[in-house]
């Protein structure tokens, strides 16, 4: 175990509210647990929109006050691109956002139960449990010029692939 993981584990204490979010195209599912892994409330299903993100924030703040857990930690799997909107939204509101490795979630779920079923509610809880164990990372979310540079490099790479394809067709 490295020292950075020890630091992440130390961040999760009796003042922490851990929220795991299973991200999908249209609807996300959130589950909240405490530092010992106990469910604090039933799931929250919210849309991948501004109103849905507001619902998540309101739900999280209410839970934080009800259970006296001011340290809010929200995590998700960085699969696809649907998680980016939520991550940028939470980052803009100074809420701690983390990502967990999808393979760790899959393996943790296999260890947790033998059921091969996959559903969003179970996945959200497994994400929260993986976070509780300190197996998460803080994502790099570029802003301003850096975001434009990343987008420009992505477009440049796409153009280079197109040029190579056209040259191959010409030959």
Q: Supply the pLDDT for residue 12.
A: 72
User: Whole-angstrom Cα distance, residue 9 to residue 132?
Assistant: 7
**pLDDT tens column, 139-171:** 767 677 877 887 888 889 999 999 999 999 988
Q: Supply the pLDDT for residue 1.
A: 45
**pLDDT tens column, 46-76:** 988 999 999 999 999 999 888 888 888 899 8
What is the residue extent of each domain of the chain?
3-140, 142-171
Q: Supply the pLDDT for residue 117.
A: 64
**pLDDT tens column, 70-80:** 888 899 888 88
Q: Supply the pLDDT for residue 108.
A: 78
Instruction: Work out the percent of the chain whose per-residue pLDDT is above 70.
Output: 89
**pLDDT tens column, 9-31:** 767 767 778 899 998 888 899 99
Fold of 3-140: Nucleotidyltransferase; domain 5 (3.30.420)
Give the residue, 15 or 127, on which the prediction is more confident. Answer: 127
**Average pLDDT score, the chain:** 83
pTM of the model: 0.76
Q: Supply the pLDDT for residue 167.
A: 92
User: Whole-angstrom Cα distance, residue 4 to residue 74?
Assistant: 18
């Amino acid at each position: 175990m490295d020292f950075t993981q020890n630091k992440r584990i130390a961040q999760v204490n009796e003042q922490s509210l851990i929220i795991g979010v299973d991200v999908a195209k249209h609807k996300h599912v959130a589950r909240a647990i405490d530092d010992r892994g106990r469910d604090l409330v039933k799931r929250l299903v919210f849309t991948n929109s501004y109103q849905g993100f507001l619902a998540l924030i309101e739900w999280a703040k209410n839970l934080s006050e009800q259970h006296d857990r001011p340290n809010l930690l929200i995590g998700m799997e960085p699969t696809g691109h649907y998680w980016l909107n939520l991550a940028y939204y939470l980052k803009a509101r100074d809420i701690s956002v983390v990502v967990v490795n999808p393979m760790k979630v899959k393996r943790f779920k296999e260890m947790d139960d033998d059921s091969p079923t996959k559903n969003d509610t179970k996945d959200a809880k497994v994400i929260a449990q993986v976070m509780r164990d300190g197996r998460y990372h803080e994502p790099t979310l570029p802003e301003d010029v850096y975001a434009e540079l990343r987008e420009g490099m992505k477009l440049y790479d796409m153009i280079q692939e197109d040029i190579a394809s056209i040259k191959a067709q010409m030959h």
